[in-house]
Structure 1
């Protein structure tokens, strides 16, 4: 049986927490960029309609 040391356990735990944190941050940033691009794309479509007429 493998005995885990406290240092190893703390390093693995902090690496896992950092991975989860980075994953949540990337999801939030991705959603924000997606929403902003849809919003600005819609406003650009309305602007092109005014330019063509």
Structure 2
């Protein structure tokens, strides 16, 4: 169960970072959303070590 949660957080963080990169590259209208997605993805990946079971 713990490993499943860890993998879910990991994949959510990675997909958020990828979405942010695509949004930033796509155009200036999406830069703010892309930056927010990058920040949230980084926070998710950084918070993996704080998961308590």
TM-score by length of 1: 0.50
Name the counterpart of 1:48: 26
Larger Rg computed on CA atoms: 1
For structure 2, which runs of at least 5 residues remain unmatched after alignment? 29-53
Name the counterpart of 1:32: 10
User: For this pair of structures, how many residues does the alignment match?
Assistant: 28
1:12-35 deviation per Cα after TM superposition (whole angstroms, max 9, x unaligned)? xxxxxxxxxxx0000000000000
For structure 1, which runs of at least 5 residues remain unmatched after alignment? 1-22
Task: Give the number of the structure with larger relative contact order, counting CA–CA contacts within 8 Å between residues 6 or more apart.
Answer: 2
TM-score by length of 2: 0.50
Quote the Cα distance in structure 2 between the aligned partners of 1:48 and 1:42. 10
